[in-house]
Amino acid sequence: MPVSKYKNKSTVAQIQERFDADVERFSNLETGQTSTVDAALAMELITTAAVSTTASIRRVLDIGCGAGNNSLRLLQLAGPFDCDLLDLSAPMLSRAQARINASNVGQVRIFHGDFRNIELVADHYDVIIAAAVLHHLRDDDDWHYAFEKIYTLTAPGGSVWISDLVSHETEGVEAMMWRRYGDYLTEFGGGEYKTKVFDYIDKEDSPRPVTFQLDLLRSVGFEQIELLHKNSCFAAYGAVKAA
C-alpha cells in the first residue's frame, strides 16, 4: 500500500489542541487573523454575498466557527437567525456561543467535533459559512465528501460562502504566490514570524487551488458559482443552490 503524502500532517486532535489554546486571539479579527491576507475584506465579502444572494436567512451553519467572528458579522447585516456553530475546539465554541447569544434572538446550538462526522439535517441551512477551515481537508475523497455534504445541507435557494488559504495549479505561480505571502508576513512581523507561520502551515494544512474548489462546487450540484476575491494565497468564493 502506498504511503500517504499526508502521513506527517497534524492529526485532528493536534489541530484541536492548537485552537483550544488560542481562543483570546481568535476572538478579535484584528489580532486573530494577522497571518491572513485581506482577512477583514474576505469576511465582509462572504457575509455580504450571503445577504445579497439569499432571499431569506433563517438558519445558518458556521463550519469551523472559531470564536464566531463571521456569524457575528452576518448578524449585523441580516438580523436575527437560528445559528448552528460547529468546531473542533470546545473553548472556541463556548466563546462563540456566548458572543452570538449576546447579539441574537434566534436559537444558537453548538456542535463539537469534526464536520465530516457530525449528523446534520439535509436541505436545512439558508447560509453555510466555512472560513479558514477547509484547508485542513486531505486527499481527494476527503474534499469530495466534505463538499457533497455541504451541498446536501444547503437548503434550496440557499448559499455557501468560503474564505480560505489556497494553493495553485502551476508550479511557477505557486512559487510566486508563496514568495508574495512570505513578503507580507515578513513586513508584518519579521523573518521569525514568517518562519513560524510557514512551519505550521507545512505541518497542519493541505490547501487546494481555488480553481479545484470552484469546479468541485459545481460538480457536487451547485449551479451558480462565484469567486469574490483572491490575493496571494487567500481567496473568498461561494455558490448558490438552485431553489
CATH code assigned at 47: 3.40.50.150
Whether residue 206 is contained in a domain is answered as yes
**How many angstroms separate the CA atoms of 42 and 165, rounded?**
11
Whether residue 7 is contained in a domain is answered as no
Contacts with 199 (C-beta within 8 Å, 6 or more apart), sequence order = none
Q: Is it the case that residue 32 has pLDDT exceeding 60?
A: no
Q: Is it the case that residue 236 has pLDDT exceeding 50?
A: yes
For range 111-123, the mean pLDDT: 96
List, in sequence order, every residue forming a beta bridge with 225; answer none if it has no partner.
239
Task: Supply the pLDDT for residue 39.
Answer: 92
Whether residue 3 is contained in a domain is answered as no
Q: Is it the case that residue 18 has pLDDT exceeding 70?
A: no
Whether residue 6 is contained in a domain is answered as no
For range 153-168, the mean pLDDT: 98
Whether residue 163 is contained in a domain is answered as yes
**What are the distances in angstroms from CA 97 to CA 11, 58, 197?**
25, 17, 28
Task: Supply the pLDDT for residue 53.
Answer: 98
Torsion sign, CA atoms 142, 90, 21, 37: positive
Helix (H, G, I), strand (E, B) or coil at 10: coil
pLDDT tens per residue across span 179-222: 999 999 999 999 999 999 999 899 999 999 999 999 999 999 99
**How many angstroms separate the CA atoms of 194 and 207, rounded?**
18
Whether residue 61 is contained in a domain is answered as yes
Task: Supply the pLDDT for residue 239.
Answer: 98
Task: Supply the pLDDT for residue 22.
Answer: 59
How is residue 143 written as a grid cell? 474534499
Helix (H, G, I), strand (E, B) or coil at 4: coil
Residue 176 lies in domain: 12-240
Task: Supply the pLDDT for residue 3.
Answer: 41
Specify the higher pLDDT residue, 75 or 103: 75
Specify the higher pLDDT residue, 58 or 8: 58
Whether residue 39 is contained in a domain is answered as yes
Task: Supply the pLDDT for residue 6.
Answer: 73
For range 57-63, the mean pLDDT: 98
Could you tell me the pLDDT band of residue 105, with boundaries at 50, 70 and 90? confident
Task: Supply the pLDDT for residue 5.
Answer: 74
Task: Supply the pLDDT for residue 79.
Answer: 87
Q: What's the full length of the chain, in residues?
A: 243
Q: Give 19-80 as a DSSP string.
A: HHTTHHHHTSHHHHTTTSTTHHHHHHHHHHHHHHH-S---EEEEET-TTSHHHHHHHHHH--
pTM over 0.75: yes
Task: Supply the pLDDT for residue 17.
Answer: 63
pLDDT tens per residue across span 144-160: 999 999 999 999 999 99
CB 159 within 8 A of CB 239: yes
Question: If you ran DSSP here, which 8-state letter would residue 11 be given?
Answer: P
User: Of 27-31, 102-106, 184-188, which has the strongest mean pLDDT?
Assistant: 184-188
Query: 209: how many CB neighbours lie within 10 A of its CB?
Result: 16
For range 35-43, the mean pLDDT: 92
Whether residue 1 is contained in a domain is answered as no
Q: Is it the case that residue 36 has pLDDT exceeding 80?
A: yes
Q: Is 64 left (phi over 0), alpha (psi -120 to 50) or beta?
A: left
Task: Supply the pLDDT for residue 2.
Answer: 41
Q: Domain count of the chain?
A: 1
Contacts with 28 (C-beta within 8 Å, 6 or more apart), sequence order = none
Express as a percent the part of the chain with pLDDT over 90: 82
Contacts with 148 (C-beta within 8 Å, 6 or more apart), sequence order = 220
Q: Where are the beta strands (DSSP E) in the chain?
A: 59-63, 82-87, 108-112, 125-131, 154-165, 224-231, 234-240
How many distinct helices (H) and strands (E) make up the chain? 10, 7
